[in-house]
A and B are shown apart, each in its own frame.
Chain A
């Protein structure tokens, strides 16, 4: 029962992230939606998988996948954001301050 609730929560977060990628105004805010919801949704779904499988070596491997998502997702989003700033893409008009450069 708990695993179905976790799966549902993960899918909801993923859908909200996809909506955010469409609705937000510029590259940087879109990256926020994409990365945060990716991490949260995959945590929820993988924890649901662990609950469904029970304690064992396979669930340890699922936790390893979770750890890799944790450490690789920020690196990818950081590289994308920095590359777009270096390339000269301006933040949207709503932006308050730009201390970089």
Chain B
């Protein structure tokens, strides 16, 4: 009986946490910050696609990007985590977070290719579909995590299901090392989970 009561209390705490995080998630960053982030990304794409530094296309691009970012800010920047100082986080993102992710990523992709080449030649595969849990909630963050898992050595995301603690991912693993969900999560996700937690819900 007492065990049952403890179980119910734990369950209740999980539900409460879930509701609180959902309420937080509704807030996000402020509207002008969303518009600014959308504008910066769109303008960067515009400059790369135009491919020149003459003045008229840059001015035209600024006008078009302003209009578009006012119309569509809620699609792009909805899932960004709210923080204390917006500009310092933006600078941190550009100069520290992105190079960090690129650095992690480069080595992982080289490793992935060497691993797949070894599996092709030796056929020492041990495939299986495992489940891993993540505490990320927003759609953007889960999409990014699933894509990065698919690009890393020997793993391929099959499906995502929403749970109370976050999301569960079903991953096809070409060389299964462990069957426990937590250990598999640590091996497969690496540091990417924490990286995404700094930016998204």
CA distance A99 to B172 in the complex (A): 10
We find that the number of chain B residues with CB closer than 8 angstroms to chain A is: 38
Complex interface: chain B residues within 8 A of A35 (CB): 150, 156
- A-B contacts, 27 of them at CB < 8 A, read A16-B121, A28-B127, A28-B172, A32-B172, A36-B113, A36-B154, A37-B116, A39-B109, A39-B151, A40-B109, A64-B49, A71-B147, A74-B148, A74-B150, A74-B151, A77-B156, A82-B159, A85-B158, A91-B128, A95-B127, A96-B176, A96-B179, A97-B128, A98-B129, A99-B130, A99-B131, A100-B129
Q: Contact partner of B120 among A20, A57, A95, CB < 8 A?
A: A20
Complex interface: chain B residues within 8 A of A28 (CB): 127, 156, 172
Told that A35-B156, A92-B127, A96-B126 touch, could you supply 13 new A-B pairs with CB distance under 8 A? A20-B119, A33-B120, A36-B113, A36-B154, A60-B48, A61-B49, A64-B45, A64-B49, A70-B151, A78-B157, A98-B128, A99-B130, A100-B159
User: Is B146 an interface position by the 8 A CB rule?
Assistant: yes
CA distance A39 to B105 in the complex (A): 12
Q: Contact partner of B156 among A13, A71, A81, CB < 8 A?
A: A81
CA distance A49 to B174 in the complex (A): 32
User: Is B123 an interface position by the 8 A CB rule?
Assistant: yes
Quick one: closest B residue to A99, CB to CB? B131
Cβ of B156 and Cβ of A32 under 8 Å apart?
yes
Complex interface: chain B residues within 8 A of A37 (CB): 113, 116
Complex interface: chain A residues within 8 A of B176 (CB): 96-97
A42-69 contacts to B (CB < 8 Å): 43, 57-58, 60-61, 64
Given A94-B126, A98-B129, A40 and B150 contact (CB-CB distance below 8 Å):
no
Quick one: closest B residue to A63, CB to CB? B48
Quick one: closest A residue to B146, CB to CB? A78
List the interface of chain A (C-beta within 8 A of B).
13, 16-17, 19-20, 23-24, 28-29, 31-33, 35-37, 39-40, 43, 57-58, 60-61, 64, 70-71, 73-75, 77-78, 81-82, 85, 91-92, 94-100
User: Is B112 an interface position by the 8 A CB rule?
Assistant: yes
CA distance A17 to B159 in the complex (A): 24
Q: Contact partner of A57 among B52, B127, B172, B179, CB < 8 A?
A: B52
Quick one: closest A residue to B153, CB to CB? A36
Cβ of B131 and Cβ of A29 under 8 Å apart?
no
Complex interface: chain A residues within 8 A of B125 (CB): 24, 29, 94
Complex interface: chain B residues within 8 A of A23 (CB): 120, 123
Cβ of A60 and Cβ of B51 under 8 Å apart?
yes
